[in-house]
Amino acid sequence: MREVINKEVSVVSFFSASKRLSLPHIVSWHGTEYAVGKIGFHHTIRKGNTLHHIFELVDRDEVLWMRLNLDTSNLHWTLEAVSDGLAD
Amino acid sequence: MALQTKSASRQRGRARALPVNSAAPYLMHIDLNSCFTTIEQQANPLIRNKPVAVAAYTTPNGFVLAASYEAKALGIKLGLNVRQAKEICPEIIVLMPDPPKYRAAYTRFKEVLLEYTSDVTPKSIDEFVIDFRGSAAIRAGMTMEEIGYEIKQRLREHIGEYVSVNVGIGPNRSLAKLAAGLHKPDGLDIINAQNLEATLANCELMDLPGINRRFKARLFAAGITTPLEMYNADPNFLRNNVFFSKLGDMWHARLRGWEVDDVEFDRKTIGHQYALKEKTFDRDKLCRLLMKLSEKTGRRLRKNNLVAHGVHLSIRFTNHTYWHHGQKTEQALYATQDIYRAAADMLRGIGQFPDNVSLMSVHVFNLQDKSPEQTGLFDDFQIHQRRLADAADKINDRYGEFTAIPAVMAGMRGKEILDRIAFGSLRDMDDQMR
């Protein structure tokens, strides 16, 4: 079931200079720290002049899917939605 | 050369049968398997290998726009509504479309293909035709089959490991597309002069790209029941007894591997359509929707630096009846208000609605380049309107769509007209990506 969250969350991210990749690493939500596993898809959108990076990923245990939005105007992370991969 | 021969013989009254094109096949047709659902399954590993549908809305009456292979295997296909899909499979995962994500995948898809050649023609959001004649890969000695498998791998690396494509290789666009459909999903097939007849012998008429039910009925009425019979038919018979136009000659050439589909059509209209989630006959609500449709249409018109000389409004009612009207305008339409005014006049002209409105669309036509601007001596108001429209566009470019809105739209919820991918209309998608 997919649930819309739209709340700012704490995220630890890292940048690998050798791979030229910047990715979220740990997401803190509802008092739990989720280590990021597979990144399913990453794309960008523009809202007016502001670029947003959208990361769709699963935690390392592959039980929770998250959609994270990084607002590049203030570098704040928003957890937009979560899903357990089951039907509504 | 063969088409010149055909043209010359037509002048003599009868077209001669063409030989089979024996040139090596260098055209590749690639399409992404179940595009929207595959991208969703790529983005969310938890829904992979499960029945998934992308629907216009997740509510029971929302139409299924795409179904995953797992859903298709259960009989869920495009056009069913969510209620019907859930009756077939209660566990189906239904998602709303996410156009920016699909556009991002399309861009990456295209980037990979452009690494091979600049001769890449997008046919829709999930389909491309690539002409490899003279490409670096061919000059380097790669076969078309090797290139096809390499592209499959490159797409997995560039878009995601769950993404698979059908690759078809043929001497022309039509046969390449037919080849791409032979072994779905994740197939790769080649049609050439050697296996053409054997391939056609294993196909149904409606497997041929462009043969729909109507054409199939015509072919059956003329005694042609298989692609092989169509391939063997005399071009004059196809023209005079089946298609009643040059389409018959084109089909004759197409099935023999000659290219007849390498044509670009000019853009004739720009518009936007909206299926109402809450059906209504409230004219105030419809006017607000009309303004939003006019604004979306106007934005696209202005981004393309065009003006229009006509507006078309169409409305579908819940009882499946349909009303539409087009009107040419003397004045060049450019600002949103110009389009809205013309469309609203038409809306007012409809008497009593037979039922609630379920779908509304606004299109502008008779498109012309905006510049050079031609205005009359007393057209100050029109010039001001155009400048106002340009200024509002700049605000919306900077702060996001619908930041500056016409007063009629005040009070509308921002998402009342959702971002959508127009099937088959890449020009509309290109406008949205700008």
Share of chain B above pLDDT 90, in %: 54
pLDDT tens per residue, range B131-155: 999 899 999 999 999 999 999 999 9
- Residue A2 contacts B, CB cutoff 8 Å: yes
pLDDT reported for residue B354? 86
Give me the mean pLDDT over the B35-43 stretch. Answer: 96
Residue bearing the bigger pLDDT, B100 or A49: B100
For residues B429 and B147, which has the higher predicted lDDT (pLDDT)?
B147
Residues B333 and B298: their CA atoms lie apart, in Å, by: 9
Q: How confident is the model at residue B268 (pLDDT cuts 50, 70, 90)?
A: confident
Find the distance separating the first CA and the last CA of chain A, reported in whole Å: 5
Q: What mean pLDDT do residues B282-288 have?
A: 86
The pLDDT value given to residue B81:
92
pLDDT digits (tens, 9 = 90+) for B356-376: 898 899 999 988 887 655 556
Q: Is the pTM of this model over 0.80?
A: no
Is residue B180 within 8 Å of B166, Cβ to Cβ?
yes
Quote the pLDDT of residue B292: 87
Chain B nearest-CA distance from A4, in A, is 12
Residue type at B50?
K
What sign does the dihedral B131-B134-B140-B142 (CA atoms) show?
Answer: positive
Residue B425: CB atoms within 10 A of its CB come to 15
Q: Which of B43, B58, B95 sits opposite A41 (nearest CB)?
A: B43
Considering CB atoms only, which of B58, B101, B397 is closest to A43? B101
Within 8 A of B104 by CB-CB distance, chain A residues are 41, 43-44
B238: closest CA among B171, B8, B253? B253
Q: Using one digit for the tens of pLDDT, what is the confidence trace for B313-331?
A: 999 888 888 899 998 988 8
Interacting residues of B220 by C-beta distance below 8 A, sequence separation 6+: none
Pick B44's closest partner by Cβ from A48, A49, A85: A85
Q: Does A55 touch chain B (CB under 8 A)?
A: no
DSSP symbols for B89-146: -TT-EEE---HHHHHHHHHHHHHHHHTT-S-EEEEETTEEEEE-TT-HHHHTT--HHH
- pLDDT per residue over B210-262, tens digit each? 999 999 999 999 999 999 999 999 999 999 999 999 999 999 999 999 999 88
Per-residue confidence (pLDDT) for residue B177, from 0 to 100:
96
Interface test mutation site (partner A, options B32, B38, B46, max chain A beta carbons within 10 A): B46
Q: Taking residues B99-125, what's their average pLDDT?
A: 93
Q: What is the CATH number of domain B23-192?
A: 3.30.70.270
In this prediction, residue B2 carries a pLDDT of 42
In angstroms, the separation between the Cα of residue A86 and the nearest Cα of chain B is 7
Which chain A residues contact residue B392 at CB under 8 A? none
Residue B430, pLDDT > 80, answer no
For the cut 50, the answer to whether the pLDDT of residue B279 exceeds it is yes
Domain ranges of chain B: 7-19+197-255, 23-192, 269-433
CA distance linking residue B287 with residue B227, whole number of Å: 50
Collapse the DSSP code of B423 into the 3-class scheme (helix H, G, I; strand E, B; otherwise coil) and give the result: coil
Is A15 or B3 the better-scoring residue by pLDDT? A15
b vs e for B3-30, b when ≥16 Cβ sit within 10 Å of the residue's Cβ?
A: eeebeebbeeeebeebebbeeebbbbbb
Q: pLDDT higher for B427 or B166?
A: B166
Q: Work out the pLDDT band at B423, boundaries 50, 70, 90.
A: low
Do B43 and A56 make contact, defined as CB atoms within 8 angstroms? yes
pLDDT for position B433: 59
Distance from CA of B102 to the nearest CA of A (A): 10
Q: Is B94 exposed, middle or buried (0-12, 13-18, 19+ CB in 10 A)?
A: buried
Assign a CATH topology to domain B269-433: Dna Ligase; domain 1 (3.30.1490)
Higher pLDDT, B136 or B16: B136
CATH code: domain B7-19+197-255 is 1.10.150
Mean pLDDT, chain B, rounded, equals 87
pLDDT (tens digit per residue) in B343-355:
988 888 888 888 8
Which chain B residues touch A if contact means CB-CB below 8 Å?
A: 39, 42-47, 50, 58, 90-95, 100-101, 104-105, 160, 396-400, 403
More confident position, B105 or B330: B105
In this prediction, residue B429 carries a pLDDT of 60
In this predicted complex, what is the ipTM? 0.96
In this prediction, residue B322 carries a pLDDT of 87
Higher pLDDT, B402 or A85: A85
pLDDT digits (tens, 9 = 90+) for B116-133: 999 999 998 889 999 999
Residue B422, pLDDT > 80, answer no
Average pLDDT over residues B95-111: 94
Sorted by where each begins, the domain ranges of chain A are 2-83
Interface membership of A62 toward B (CB under 8 Å): yes
CB B386 within 8 A of CB B322: no
The CA angle B265-B433-B113, to the nearest 5 degrees, is 70
Whether the pLDDT of residue A57 is over 50: the answer is: yes
pLDDT of residue B419: 63
DSSP state of B238: I
